[in-house]
């Protein structure tokens, strides 16, 4: 009795700390303290849960020693593996790490549901239905996140699509629901076990099939959606287990995650239904490419023009991060600033792989906040800027998104780099961007390509500016 109060209250305190931490995390000034606060809450509630050892059901008492040993081993394994992966992973690979950790949470929620279904503490049909719904959502989040990880990690480059896929997915979803209903109706009988197992199989398979046709460019939105899914599944399983802390934390994340998903989708000018059910990134539909020749220049020529420009706007993209060239870029920028050039960074809402990703990458290189501008704040300045330097970005500066209604990226807001007097593009090759769409900007008269790896090109640019000496 006494223990129940302690554990229950610790859950309450943790839930409070989570909400406080989340609030703190939504401002750059307090963000760091936010995650630490939430971390304390988590340590506290996990520690208190071990008090439940004195309170296990009589049937489980003989197994207690084994169970505790298993729990400790599982905790250690889980923490060590992900802690090590999380510490060592490159910043560019963060989005897929978030996906995989999120999927683990969804899988854990699904495990909770499986345990509840296996236990013979007969409860109401309502209770069982909630368990099944939570399990379904958790399973989708689990396998869906794994597919999202594989796509972002470059292990699965092309979206998998086939005729009648939507019908197939719908049928699979309905089969999963039917199996779940069957498992609820036959709960507690030996006949209920098989539909239960099949239900989990169908739910897991549905998570895979639902994610397969979605293009890589839409993955951030999908990960955010699955993040909300996991929250929801955790909340529902919290109800099943009679644990209000899980209910609150899960539902807070469920709604916050849904809002984040909507914000991200809005930043990319895509509706959620579009992301989930349309064929974005189909290269086959864009047969006609822009006409003309690309001009290319030497890194040192480009650097010289920037050195003698009065204003430069830099548009960084994922290619910059892949080349690990943020530091080099900032070194180059510092030299330009020292020579009196007005340099700004323009960040597209989805630069990198998800909103805010590029800000994180630039912050890592030490670029101060006040040089970084959001799309809405800087878009009008391009027309009065001497040089726009585009590094490893493509789709986010594609003017076709504004003009060509047949383009798959039509309607996506872009950075108006094409309006500046001179455009330099550092790019590895003349290929297309993540969406697979050719970019007419590269054929424009005021545009010059600087082909090469961003790291190498920027090194040459730094050399070139050094050779010119300081003004």
Partner 1 sequence: MDSVTSMTFIIALYIFMLAAFTGYVVISRVPSILHTPLMSGSNFIHGIVVVGALDALFNATTLTGQIIGFVGVFLGAGNVMGGYVVTDRMLAMFRPSQKQTPEKKGQQ
Q: Does 87 bind partner 1 (CB under 8 A)?
A: yes
Among 95-103, 416-424, 428-436, 453-461, the segment contacting partner 1 (CB under 8 A): 95-103
Site string for partner 1, 412-441 (x = CB under 8 A): ------------------------------
Residue closer to partner 1, measured from CB, 30 or 430:
30
**What are the structure tokens assigned to 335, written together?**
């030299």
Neighbour-count burial for 259-276, b at 16+ CB within 10 Å, e otherwise: ebbbebbebbbbebebbb
Piece of 208-216, 259-267, 272-280, 403-411 that binds partner 1 (CB under 8 A): 259-267
Print burial letters for 36-45: b (CB count within 10 Å at least 16), e (below 16).
ebbeebeeeb
Please tell me which residue in 153, 298, 395, 453 is annotated as part of the active site: 395
Phi-psi region of 366 (alpha: psi -120 to 50; beta: other; left: phi over 0): left
| Number of chain residues interacting with partner 1 (CB under 8 A) | 125
Full DSSP string of 256-276: HHHHHHHHHHHHTT--HHHHH
Sole residue written with tokens 């003349």: 430
Q: Is 395 considered catalytic here?
A: yes
Kindly tell me which residue out of 246, 265, 391, 462 binds partner 1, with binding defined by CB under 8 A: 246
Cα(337)–Cα(344) distance, rounded to whole angstroms?
10
Site map for partner 1, 185-224, x if CB under 8 A? --------------------------------------xx
Nearer to partner 1, 223 or 425 (CB): 223
Minimum Å gap between C-beta 261 and partner 1 is 9
Given candidates 368, 383, 411, 466, which one binds partner 1 under the rule CB under 8 A? Answer: 368
Torsion angle of the four alpha carbons 148, 150, 153, 157, in this order, in degrees rounded to the nearest 10: -100
CB 152 within 8 A of CB 353: yes
If one asks whether residue 366 binds partner 1 (CB under 8 A), the answer comes out as yes
**Helices 219-241 and 244-267, axial angle in degrees (round to 10):** 160
Site string for partner 1, 5-24 (x = CB under 8 A): ------x--x---xx-xxx-
Query: Which residue in 92, 105, 325, 413 binds partner 1 (CB under 8 A)?
Result: 105
Q: Is 59 in the site for partner 1 (CB under 8 A)?
A: yes
Q: Do 415 and 441 meet the contact criterion of CB atoms below 8 Å apart?
A: no
Among 132, 367, 389, 454, binds partner 1 (CB under 8 A): 367
Whichever of 9 and 383 has its CB closer to partner 1, that residue is 9
Strand order in the sheet with 342-347: 372-374, 342-347, 311-316, 387-391, 422-427, 447-451
**302-361: contacts with partner 1 (CB under 8 A):** 347, 349, 354-357, 359-360
- Pairwise CA distance, residues 403 & 407, whole Å: 9
Contact window for partner 1 (CB under 8 A) among 180-188, 242-250, 302-310, 386-394: 242-250
In the bound state with partner 1, the residue whose beta carbon lies nearer, of 317 and 440, is: 317
Going by C-beta distance under 8 Å and a sequence separation of 6 or more, which residues neighbour residue 139?
Answer: 106, 107, 110, 200, 203, 204, 206, 207
24-53 residues near partner 1, rule: CB under 8 A: 25-29, 31-32, 34-36, 38-39, 42, 45-46, 49-50, 52-53
Q: Which is nearer to partner 1, 79 or 171 (CB)?
A: 79
Contact present, 230 and 102 (Cβ < 8 Å) = yes
Segment interacting with partner 1, rule: CB under 8 A, options 124-132, 156-164, 183-191, 455-463: 124-132
DSSP state at residue 313 = E
How many CB atoms lie under 10 A from the CB of residue 401? 21
- Binding status of residue 118 toward partner 1 by CB under 8 A: yes
Residues with a catalytic annotation lie at 395
């Amino acid at each position: 009795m006494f223990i129940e109060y302690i554990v229950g209250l610790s859950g309450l305190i943790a839930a409070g700390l989570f909400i406080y931490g989340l609030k703190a995390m939504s401002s750059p000034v307090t963000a760091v303290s936010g995650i630490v606060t939430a971390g304390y809450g988590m340590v506290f509630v996990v520690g208190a849960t071990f008090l439940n050892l004195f309170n296990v059901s009589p049937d489980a008492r003989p197994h207690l020693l084994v169970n505790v040993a298993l729990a400790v081993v599982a905790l250690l394994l889980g923490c060590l593996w992900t802690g090590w992966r999380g510490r060592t992973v490159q910043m560019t690979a963060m989005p897929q790490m978030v996906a995989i950790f999120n999927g683990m949470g969804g899988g854990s929620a699904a495990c909770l549901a499986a345990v509840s279904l296996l236990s013979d503490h007969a409860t109401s049909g309502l209770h069982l239905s909630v368990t099944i719904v939570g399990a379904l959502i958790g399973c989708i989040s689990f396998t869906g996140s794994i597919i999202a990880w594989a796509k972002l990690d470059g292990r699965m480059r092309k979206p998998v699509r086939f005729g009648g896929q939507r019908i197939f997915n719908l049928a699979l979803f309905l089969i999963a629901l039917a199996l779940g209903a069957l498992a609820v109706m036959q709960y507690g009988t030996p006949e209920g076990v098989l539909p239960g197992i099949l239900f989990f199989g169908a739910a897991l398979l549905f998570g895979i099939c639902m994610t397969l046709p979605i293009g890589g460019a839409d993955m951030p939105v999908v990960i955010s959606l699955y993040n909300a899914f996991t929250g929801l599944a955790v909340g529902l399983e919290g109800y099943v287990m009679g644990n209000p802390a899980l209910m609150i934390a899960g539902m807070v994340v469920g709604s916050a995650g849904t809002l984040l998903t909507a914000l991200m989708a809005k930043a990319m000018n895509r509706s959620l239904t579009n992301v989930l059910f349309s064929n974005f990134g189909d290269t086959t539909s864009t047969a006609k490419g822009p006409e003309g020749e690309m001009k290319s220049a030497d890194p040192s020529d480009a650097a010289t023009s920037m050195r003698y420009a009065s204003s430069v706007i830099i548009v960084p993209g994922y290619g910059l991060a892949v080349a690990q060239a943020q530091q080099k870029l900032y070194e180059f920028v510092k030299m330009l600033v020292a020579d009196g050039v007005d340099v700004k960074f323009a960040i597209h809402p989805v630069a990198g792989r998800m909103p805010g990703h590029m800000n994180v990458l630039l912050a890592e290189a030490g670029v101060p906040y006040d040089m970084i501008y959001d799309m809405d704040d800087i878009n009008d300045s391009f027309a009065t800027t001497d040089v726009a330097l585009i590094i490893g970005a493509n789709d986010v500066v594609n003017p076709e998104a504004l003009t060509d209604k047949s383009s798959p990226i039509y309607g996506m807001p872009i950075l108006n780099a094409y309006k500046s007097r001179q455009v330099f593009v550092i790019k590895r090759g003349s290929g297309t961007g993540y969406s697979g769409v050719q970019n007419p900007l590269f054929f424009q008269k005021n545009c010059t390509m600087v082909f090469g790896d961003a790291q190498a090109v920027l090194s040459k640019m730094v050399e070139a500016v050094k050779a010119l000496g300081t003004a």
